[in-house]
Structure formats: C-alpha cells, structure tokens
Amino acid sequence: MDERIILAALEEIQIHSLRFHMDDITRRLHMSKTSLYKIVLSKEQLMDAVMTYLMAHFDIEERKIRAMSGPVRHKVTAFIKLYTEAFKRFDKSVYTDLRVDYEKSWRRWTRFREQKIDVLMELLQEGIDRKEFRQVNLEVMRQCLIVTSEALSSFEFLQHSNLTYSNALESLGDILFTGIEIKDAL
C-alpha cells in the first residue's frame, strides 16, 4: 500500500482517534475517494496496513537494538524506550476503538505486544546469563507485563489518571527497572 496513505491515516488517528473518515484521508492527500478506494478497499484494510507498517518499523529498530554491543542494560533501556515510543500513537480512546471496532487488528496488535514482551524477556535472560542482572522469575515478570500492559491501555484508567498509554508504560518501566527504593537515604 502507498506509504502516503498510511502516514495520512496515522495523522488522522492522532487528531480524530479511529473516528476519522476516509474522506479525511482524501482531503489530506488531495485525492478523490474513487482513487483512494482503488488502492485501499476499506477502512478495515487501511487499519491492517497501518498495523503492518508500525510493526515493520518496530522490528527494524528492534534488530538494531539486538545487534548493539556493550552492556545488556543499554539494550534493555533502548528496547523499553522503543516500546513506549511505538505505542505512543495509540493512546486513550484509540485502544478502546481498536478493541471494539477492529477486533481482528486488536488481536493482532495484542499478539504483537506479547511478542515484544517475549523479546524483552530474552534480553533480560541475556543480562542474567552475563551476570549483569540478578536471577528473577522471568515467567512471573512476563505475565505481570502482559496483564499490566493490557490494564494500562484501558480508556477509563488513562482518562482517570490523565496519562497516555506510553506515559503509563514509562512509569511501569521506571518502577520495574529502577524500583521504588530511595538510594542513599539516610
């Protein structure tokens, strides 16, 4: 699919959540509806293309992180930053709309998030194997991250706490990987 259409859809998502119309895309791109529908058959197909685009870009950046040399903690930090940045586009009502109106895309997005949590677990295991991190039960941590990342995407939670999904993920990462203990407290 034409990348211009995908980028236009991402811009409309930023403005209107998933409540944008295909007319918004045609206006943004200065094209006719007929021309658009020759390229993309439906909004559902467009959403699938948007997901594919975001996932492919994430995977490219993930490969770069995995190829990094140096301490594993740098890889973990870079991966968490990539994860929170990647999910920044889908905040508050987008998750609810995706879950309700685009169930196929939602299931695909959920599987993708879980796969990326598995990548994080592999990085953490690498850190444990290199003795950079202490031994922890990664199965428990994986389950906590899956359940928590799902709960943090709740529109009600995000609205109530005045957070975006990526802000909530950043806070979670800070709590998990930095802890709550004050260092050097007297």
CATH 1.10.1740 fits 43-178, yes or no: no
pTM: 0.82
pLDDT attached to residue 6: 96
pLDDT attached to residue 97: 85
Side chain identity, residue 137: N
Tracing tokens 């609810």 back to the chain, one arrives at 96
The model's pLDDT over 62-89, given as tens digits with 9 standing for 90+, comes to 999 999 999 998 999 899 889 878 777 6
Closest CA to 121 of 79, 61, 162: 79
pLDDT of residue 186 exceeding 80, the answer is no
The model's pLDDT over 139-183, given as tens digits with 9 standing for 90+, comes to 999 998 888 877 887 778 888 998 888 788 888 888 877 777 776
Q: Which residue has the higher pLDDT, 108 or 184?
A: 108
